[in-house]
Amino acid sequence: MRCPYCGGSDTQVKDSRPSEDGAAIRRRRVCPDCAGRFTTFERVQLRELTVVKRSGKRVPFDRDKLQRSIDVALRKRPVEPERIERLVSGLTRQLESSGEAEIASEAIGELVMEGLKGLDDVAYVRFASVYKNFREAKDFEELLGTLGEPRRDDGKAPS
């Protein structure tokens, strides 16, 4: 593993442990050249996935891109990083275990929207507004109508 600071190729693992959800191994590494410390994650990949874009273009599935898009939707929202990691890992596992080697980008977008809907309503609306390319306020009104009854602070529907 190359050092992200100096580019040295001989980094050493100082500590390994399972991640919070047990789906990855977290490794703390140190570079003997510059003494830089960094963390890497090792995950199981069940299969190589290809994403079929709306244009018909095919690109390799990128878990980091999925993570970034979810992070953007959740920016400045009170959601614990562990819950975000569980969502990304769960979506990735669901895609890999679907049995399909090619996944439509629309299917991924729908899965992300469903995951965000259960995690944070504001992030759900943010993601949906970009994913569905909202142009007018009525687009938001229609989406907000799908969120159901208002929730109290404890997450339960009012009685």
Tens-digit pLDDT profile for residues 58-104: 999 999 999 999 999 999 999 998 899 889 988 998 998 888 889 99
Q: Could you please report the per-residue DSSP string of 137-155? A: HHHHHHHHHTT-S---TTS
Rounded to whole angstroms, how far apart are CA atoms 79 and 98?
28
Give domain limits for the chain.
10-44, 46-145
* Nearest partner of 98 among 46, 23, 24, judged by Cα: 46
* pTM (predicted TM-score): 0.62
Backbone angles phi, psi at 65, to 5 degrees: -65, -40
Q: What is the pLDDT of residues 26-50, one digit of tens each?
A: 899 999 999 999 998 887 665 688 9
